[in-house]
Amino acid sequence: MKVLIGCEYSGRVRQAFRNAGHDAWSCDLLESEDDSPYHIVGDLINLLSDGWDLAIFHPPCTHLAVSGSRWFKNKAKEQADALVFVQTLMDAPIPRIALENPISVISSCIRKPDQIIQPWQYGTGETKATCLWLKGLPKLTPTNIVEGREARVHKMPPGPNRWKERSRTYIGVAQAMADQWGRLQTISQ
Ligand SMILES: C[S@@+](CC[C@H](N)C(=O)[O-])C[C@H]1O[C@@H](n2cnc3c(N)ncnc32)[C@H](O)[C@@H]1O
């Protein structure tokens, strides 16, 4: 399958799909952390019509996450732009799409998510509610429910790299996406 992982600098989902034999590419405005030749630095919007079978998008939640709602009144324009970006990704001409974000205004402004997953359902004993908006994809099935409900991401000290530490996709979730969605048939558009 030709797979696009949009807004991914970590390479975790891209690598899980490549390990399973797919022609998977990541794209971000940033360089990839693993220096992969299968990473495109640039604006994801320019790639959406390039004939992908499946896309997984991780757009920024800075202006969308409900956890930051106390700042919403000061950033109406940023939030409107972020919602247009999300809607453009959801409407991309790609037959199977998953878009991931925390609990956010996407639910009230665009539509409710199809599924909310937690890292502890995929092998990491932490909590971080992650919403998935799906097109042409089944819900992800938990792969390894573990003990432990630590809210690690909320306890991280402030610092310039905190957002990066907080936003890398969990490896167990990346693996589940590749295992479960990578085995689906391709659909012609
Ligand atoms: C919340 S992070 C997602 C990180 C991801 N879960 C990972 O494991 O790498 C959002 C990312 O979106 C990227 N981004 C924002 N606008 C973009 C655009 N127009 N095209 C490509 N990437 C973009 C940012 O640079 C940032 O790295």
Dump the DSSP string for 132-186.
Answer: EEEES-PPPPP-B--S--B-HHHHPPPSTTHHHHHHSPPHHHHHHHHHHHTTSPP
Residue 166 beta carbon below 6 angstroms from any ligand 1 atom: no
* The model's pTM: 0.96
Mind listing the pLDDT tens digit for each residue in 76-121?
A: 999 999 999 999 999 999 999 999 999 999 999 999 999 999 999 9
Amino acid code (one letter) for 62: T
Ligand 1 atom with least separation from CA of 11: 9
Residue 96 beta carbon below 6 angstroms from any ligand 1 atom: no
The two most distant CA atoms of the chain are separated, in Å, by: 47
Mind listing the pLDDT tens digit for each residue in 14-63?
A: 999 999 999 999 999 999 999 999 999 999 999 999 999 999 999 999 99
Ligand 1 atom with least separation from CA of 168: 8
Instruction: Evaluate whether 28 touches 7 at the Cβ level (below 8 Å).
Output: yes
Determine how β-strand 130-135 pairs with β-strand 115-117. Answer: antiparallel
Residue 58 beta carbon below 6 angstroms from any ligand 1 atom: yes
- Could you give the C-alpha distances from 147 to 15, 55, 172, in angstroms and in order? 27, 31, 15
